[in-house]
Amino acid sequence: MIEIKAKLLRADSAIYATGERVECLIEFTHKVFPDEQGSTKNRNANEASQENLAWASAQLHCYRKTSYSNSSTDRTAELTEMIGRTALDAVTQAPGEVIVATKPKILFCDLRLQPRETKIYFFNEFVPRDGPPTYRGHDIRYFYKITIATQRVKSKVQTLTVPIRVLPIPVIARPDELPVTVETNEELAPTNPFLDKREISELEISWHHLKNVTARRAPKFYRISNKRGFVGRFCLFKQAYKLGEDIVGSLDFSQCQVRCVQFSVKLQQQELPLRPQPVQSQSHQLHSQSSVGDDVSSINSFDMASIASGVVADNLHKSATSGSARDKEASAPTGKLMTISTTHQVCYATLQTQVVVPIPLHVTPTFRTDLVDVRWRLHFEFVTTTLMDFGSPNPESGELKAPSELPVETMVWNLPVTIYAANPLQIYAPNQTFSLLIK
């Protein structure tokens, strides 16, 4: 009996950014169980002693599972693609459509193992730079697996899969940004073939870029008011965040004309299906989306509730576009919404407070493929009342009791934010060993 064990080297987080290298140790052990050992003693020693595997290969696959109806041309194209593929692909076909597959790497051919002998193989592979991130949504799922396939002579192929999580690191669309990260002006020096130039990997540059994008910017202020008057002022310090960061905003209710009784802020994931389009480079879209983000915000900022009551949340920065927002409202699709985290505060007595929405580490950052567009937004609900006092004038002396009822109105507001990947090493997600027994 042969046991195959696969263990990712990065034990503390089975998470990789696109363009990173997955490293995996694969262990083949000839296992001898005590009862079996007894029986083998009786038999011919030679016969039982050796175990044999014809070959083993390892490969990284990205799968897609979707409920979107793919156009029939796609199907046929896939089917034709299937023709001429190796048997291993057919085996791995099971969980979904393979959309990215790396070249299979042969670990060995004709492996012979003595009892209790163990051989360890080291597999590494770059996570494809242009693949989608791991994502589990309503209608579509993307996931990555390392498939280790092996076969005994005259038996069928057996596979062991090791799931990994992939985070998207946006590819930089503008290569002229590259020299920004180079510290020295080595470019100017003549090239001597004997001098090794330190090459900056593309991933590294992207990471620098990502850090720049998610750095704190000048705060943006938003005046919140409804038809009855000024409610408060919201301030957000940046629009782009990394996983694991807190979205920090401040709310100032002082000098309000309408009392905000309570509010809640939800971090929501929007899954917008896209019509199957001709495949575009995903990277470009990822990049362009961040720049488009601001425009989208002005379109989506106000939704039904505030409009019905004739409330226009007065966005200090976008005041010009807020008026026209109403007309465009209908056209903006919301897609499937998923609320990831919620903060709720009763702010009856609060004059100044803060909104801290943690971005969980397990969510998928903003990304877009040819089938789906995943975005993030903050969804605000403010419960307001015009009752600034207890409904009766404050007494000169004596008791003042709180009224039993408080008429409230609710207004909602959406503010898009962009979420980027974090450094996978800083995320704690221990992975276990995956094993397979071949009898």
When asked if residue 124 is in the footprint of other proteins (CB under 8 A), the reply is yes
CB of 146 to other proteins, least distance (A): 12
Q: Which contiguous run of DSSP H or E holds residue 292? A: helix 282-300
The helix/strand/coil state of 242 is strand
Least CB distance to other proteins at residue 422 (A): 7
Site for other proteins in 32-51 (CB under 8 A): none
248: contact with other proteins by CB under 8 A: yes
- Name which of 139 and 252 has its Cβ closer to other proteins: 252
Gap between the Cα atoms of 262 and 331, Å rounded: 30
**Residue pointed to by tokens 């008791």:** 399
- Find the binding residues for other proteins in span 258-277 (CB under 8 A): 261-262, 264, 266
Stretch 357-416 residues interacting with other proteins (CB under 8 A): 358, 360-362, 381, 383, 385, 388-390, 394-411
Instruction: Work out how close the CB of 257 gets to other proteins at its nearest, in angstroms, rounded to a whole number.
Output: 12
119 lines the binding site for other proteins (CB under 8 A): yes
Spatial CA neighbour of 343 closest among 414, 429, 247:
247
What's CA 412's distance to the chain center, in Å?
26
Nearest one of 156, 170, 144 to 283, comparing CA atoms: 170
Smallest gap, in angstroms, from Cβ of residue 318 to other proteins?
20
Separation CA 230–CA 349 (nearest Å): 16
**Quick one: 290 or 345, whose CB is closer to other proteins?**
345
Asked if residues 26 and 92 have their Cβ atoms less than 8 Å apart, the reply is no
Cα–Cα nearest to 376, from 283, 265, 275, 278? 265
Out of 3, 97, 252, 294, point to the residue binding other proteins (CB under 8 A). Answer: 252
Contact call for residues 356 and 246 (beta carbons, < 8 A): yes
Q: Considering the rule CB under 8 A, would residue 243 count as an interface residue with other proteins?
A: yes
Q: Torsion angle, CA of 293/295/298/301, rounded to 10 degrees?
A: -30
Is residue 28 within 8 Å of 118, Cβ to Cβ?
yes
Q: What is the DSSP letter of 13?
A: B
Task: Kindly give, in sequence order, each residue whose CB lies less than 8 Å from that of residue 402, ignoring residues fewer than 6 positions away.
Answer: 390
Closest distance of CB 24 from other proteins, Å = 10
Binding to other proteins (CB under 8 A) within 182-241 occurs at 192-196, 198-199, 201, 203-204, 207-208, 216, 219, 235, 237
Task: Using the minimum distance from each CB to other proteins, give the nearer residue, 119 or 141.
Answer: 119
**Under rule CB under 8 A, which residues in 295-354 are in contact with other proteins?**
304-305, 308-309, 341-344, 346, 348-354
* Among 420, 422, 431, 434, interactor with other proteins by CB under 8 A: 422
Contact pick of 4, 14, 19, 312 for other proteins (by CB under 8 A): 19
Q: Which of 1, 82, 292, 425 binds other proteins (CB under 8 A)?
A: 425
Residue 17 is a binding residue for other proteins (CB under 8 A): yes
Shortest distance, CB of residue 339 to other proteins, whole angstroms? 9
**CB-nearer residue toward other proteins: 48 or 235:** 235
Calculate ∠ Cα 163-166-170, nearest 5°: 165
Question: Using CB under 8 A, which of the segments 15-23, 35-43, 155-163, 315-323 binds other proteins?
Answer: 15-23
The structure tokens listed for 416 are 């898009």
Q: What is the distance between the alpha carbons of residues 121 and 26, in angstroms, rounded to a whole number?
A: 5
Least distance (Å) between residue 361 CB and other proteins: 6
Measured from the CB of residue 403, what is the shortest distance to other proteins in angstroms? 7
Q: What is the DSSP code (8-state) at residue 197?
A: P
Distance in angstroms (rounded) separating the CA atoms of residues 147 and 98: 12
